[in-house]
Amino acid sequence: MCCIHHKNGRFDFCGITCRDKAKDIAPLLLDVPKGHTTFTKVEGEFQKSWKPAVSTLCPPVRQVYRVVESSALLNTYTEYWFVICIVNAVFQLYSVQQIYTW
Ligand SMILES: [Zn+2]
């Protein structure tokens, strides 16, 4: 995530300039540290959306990655995250998507 301010409310970057700089060098995959507000938010979204075909407990989220794309629109953009869990000793990769208006 942003190396200057690790948290900025619900935003992943400290400001629009920071976000735009990231988009300039996109595509990027950013490691979201545990304890970051985005990690907690994505973890919550993942747990709410957990609807397995067979009744199983939602696996714990081990890692969250933020996808930064360069093709986003100027004012509205879609955010993607990948969530990594370990199920039966096998890494599982899930995607979570949310649309924000900046
Ligand atoms: Zn920044």
Q: Who surrounds ion ligand 1 at CB < 5 A?
A: 2, 4, 14, 18
C-alpha to C-alpha distance for 64 and 95, rounded to whole angstroms = 10
Span from the CA of 77 to the centroid of ligand 1 (angstroms): 18
Q: List 65's β-bridge partners, or say none.
A: 31, 82
Q: Which of 3-12, 31-40, 42-51 has the lowest mean pLDDT?
A: 3-12
Span from the CA of 43 to the centroid of ligand 1 (angstroms): 23
Question: Looking at residue 30, what is its pLDDT?
Answer: 84
Span from the CA of 23 to the centroid of ligand 1 (angstroms): 12
pLDDT in tens, 47-79: 888 887 777 788 888 888 888 877 544 445 566
Residues 6+ apart with CB under 8 A from 4: 14, 18
CB 63, CB 51: distance < 8 Å: no
pLDDT at residue 81 greater than cutoff 50? yes
